[in-house]
Structure 1
Amino acid sequence: MVVTLLLLVAAVPAAALESFQKSKLTIETAGGGKFRFDVELALTQQQQAQGLMFRQSMPADAGMLFVYDRTQQASFWMKNTLIPLDMLFIAADGRIVNIHERAVPGSLDSVNSDGPVKAILELNGGMAARLGVHPGDRVVSPDIAK
């Protein structure tokens, strides 16, 4: 009986996990770089609350794009997130407002936008530095313009 109960408890989080639509985007740097990513879209409150929680890894060319209905201040944390992430805070015109690099897995510290944003792109930790992405660079995505 105890084994059955433990198996049921272990299965609940997986059954409750949200699924995400897929899309593509490009980051264009001031230096002329163009970097393409396959992203999952976090559009609903439930998807945004879950984000990349419980993921053991993520491909180098992947990410998650959180898109808000309106431009707003944003605040994230890393609760139940197992991999370090770069968070790119994006204005409605696609311009990167600020970047928080290598957010610490499991941290409950707030990571905030430096102003109102329309979207946040989460990439593997260290990716922004490796690609030379900086505030002022652009994220080109049809999903941000919606």
Structure 2
Amino acid sequence: MTFRRPLLASVAALVAAANAPGAFAQPGVDRPQPRLPTERMVIVTRDGRRLDFTIEMALTPDQQTIGLMFRTEVKPDEGMIFDWGQPRESSMWMRNTLVPLDMVFIAADGRIHRIAERTIPLSLTPVDSRGPVRATLELQGGVTEKLDIRVGDRVLHRMFGSQP
């Protein structure tokens, strides 16, 4: 019977730890993933303007699955890029994404192939590239309209064989 008290104390400690806020929180399930490594990216518009962005690099399948889920803010000069490695059809959704985003689908040569503006938070409706793309860039919702970024504009980044 002498082991009972330490055993009960251990069980009580485990229960308390399990009930602590965030004890079983998992990125993408109920909280955002930690900020990913960032790089500089430039979009050159058809009239020659150079627009600078700091982008998080979602390179692994786990990072790409979580993306910007549960984030409460995306700044106007920031975003996240999903590098598919080679051109392919891209289909995204807004599951667990709390803020509207502009999705910029970028061809292998760095040209913007398609833009889906102001996607709907929490929507499960697929947002498709409508053709093969090397990467998908997510920006703050409305920023492409505000900055007049259009299909055909060029993205400068090492991923596309160019430097910003």
| CA RMSD of superposed structures (Å) | 2.2
TM-superposed CA distance for 1:18, in Å, is 5.4
Identity %: 42
Verify the 8 A CA contact 2:32 2:69 in the aligned structure 1: no
For 1:138 and 1:16, how far apart are their aligned partners in 2? Answer: 30
The answer to whether the aligner puts 1:88 opposite 2:119 as a matched pair is no
Cα distance 1:20–1:10, how it changes in 2: closer, same or farther (>3 A)? Answer: same
Which residue pairs with 1:137 in the alignment?
A: 153
For 2:23 and 2:124, how far apart are their aligned partners in 1? Answer: 23
Which residue pairs with 1:123 in the alignment?
A: 139
Gaps (5+ residues) in structure 1? none
Which residue pairs with 1:43 in the alignment?
A: 59
TM-superposed CA distance for 1:19, in Å, is 4.9
Verify the 8 A CA contact 2:32 2:68 in the aligned structure 1: no
For 1:81 and 1:16, how far apart are their aligned partners in 2? Answer: 9
Cα distance 1:8–1:44, how it changes in 2: closer, same or farther (>3 A)? Answer: same
The answer to whether the aligner puts 1:24 opposite 2:40 as a matched pair is yes
Instruction: Report SS of the residue matched to 1:128.
Output: helix
Instruction: Report SS of the residue matched to 1:13.
Output: coil
TM-score (norm 2): 0.81
Matched letter for residue 12 of structure 1: A
The answer to whether the aligner puts 1:7 opposite 2:53 as a matched pair is no
Cα distance 1:91–1:106, how it changes in 2: closer, same or farther (>3 A)? Answer: same
For 2:35 and 2:74, how far apart are their aligned partners in 1? Answer: 15
Gaps (5+ residues) in structure 2? 1-11
TM-superposed CA distance for 1:60, in Å, is 1.5
Larger radius of gyration: 2
Matched letter for residue 92 of structure 1: A
TM-superposed CA distance for 1:10, in Å, is 5.5
Which residue pairs with 1:53 in the alignment?
A: 69
- Structure of greater relative contact order (alpha carbons < 8 Å, 6+ residues apart): 1
Verify the 8 A CA contact 2:43 2:52 in the aligned structure 1: yes
Matched letter for residue 58 of structure 2: A
